[in-house]
Amino acid sequence: GENVEQHPSTLSVQEGDSAVIKCTYSDSASNYFPWYKQELGKGPQLIIDIRSNVGEKKDQRIAVTLNKTAKHFSLHITETQPEDSAVYFCAASPTFGNEKLTFGTGTRLTIIP
Amino acid sequence: EADIYQTPRYLVIGTGKKITLECSQTMGHDKMYWYQQDPGMELHLIHYSYGVNSTEKGDLSSESTVSRIRTEHFPLTLESARPSHTSQYLCASSPGGNTIYFGEGSWLTVV
């Protein structure tokens, strides 16, 4: 089955700086890669996703890049703000549907004011 | 904001007790899911449903059971709780495709 590794497990960034979280996956059949943000006491929320036919996707201060050859994808947050502090999860899925979503172990991002 | 609700949010219960975690969504989604998440760890799918009267087991084996008698309701039951069941349980629903909405979770502690 799919195995998703996520690094780093914790990340502290000065406010205004950029943060990068990286994930690798093992199943070459995976073609959907979402990122979720989980704030304290809440469920995960989708913040951005990318499909295998695209190398990069951007939404305001958030971007995701995908390297299918190397089987890794990354989340980039620019101009970080205190409200970006949360746990971020990457995931990978080989199908169009959520039953085969495999999650990474999460990155706790802390923005230092 | 997704309209998916979980109760109770926090529960401390003794070993051997039966518990039911409730999950309701008002979006009319056919697909619903239960995930288990230990603190600081990844989410693991334990149950899912494609619609009324449909229930399937997820990748992570679980002693819990689920039912789907109504579209909006997907309760999870543990017949005899044990300390190893201590975890956060997240309910989710989907209108289809890869879009998924999570509830805020139920924290279960079995003592």
- CA–CA separation, B35 and B54 (whole Å): 17
> What's the mean per-residue pLDDT of chain A?
93
The confidence score (pLDDT) of residue B54 equals 95
Inform me whether the pLDDT recorded for B82 exceeds 90.
yes
Closest partner CB to A49 (pick from B58, B59, B98): B98
The confidence score (pLDDT) of residue A62 equals 98
Helix extents (H) in B47-95: none
Structure tokens belonging to residue B25: 């969504």
Phi, psi of B59 (to 5 degrees): -70, -30
Q: Which neighbouring-strand residues pair with A65?
A: A56, A74
Whether A37 contacts A47, CB under 8 Å:
yes
pLDDT digits (tens, 9 = 90+) for A11-36: 999 999 999 999 999 999 999 999 99
Place of tokens 């399937």: B56
With contacts defined as CB-CB under 8 Å, which chain B residues touch A96? 97-98
CB neighbours of residue A61 within 10 Å: 13
Contacts of B56 (CB under 8 A, 6+ apart): A99, B47, B48, B49, B50
The confidence score (pLDDT) of residue B75 equals 98
**Is A11's Cβ below 8 Å from some Cβ in B?**
no
Helix extents (H) in chain B: none
DSSP state of B111: -
The confidence score (pLDDT) of residue B60 equals 85
Phi, psi of B29 (to 5 degrees): -70, 135
Whether A49 contacts A32, CB under 8 Å:
yes
Inform me whether the pLDDT recorded for A99 exceeds 80.
no
Whether B41 contacts A103, CB under 8 Å:
no
DSSP state of B83: G
Q: What integer is the mean pLDDT of B20-47?
A: 93
Structure tokens belonging to residue A42: 């809440």
Inform me whether the pLDDT recorded for A10 exceeds 60.
yes
B2 pLDDT band (50/70/90 cuts)?
low
Closest partner CB to B98 (pick from A89, A96, A108): A96
Greater pLDDT, A57 or B96:
A57
**Is A94's Cβ below 8 Å from some Cβ in B?**
no
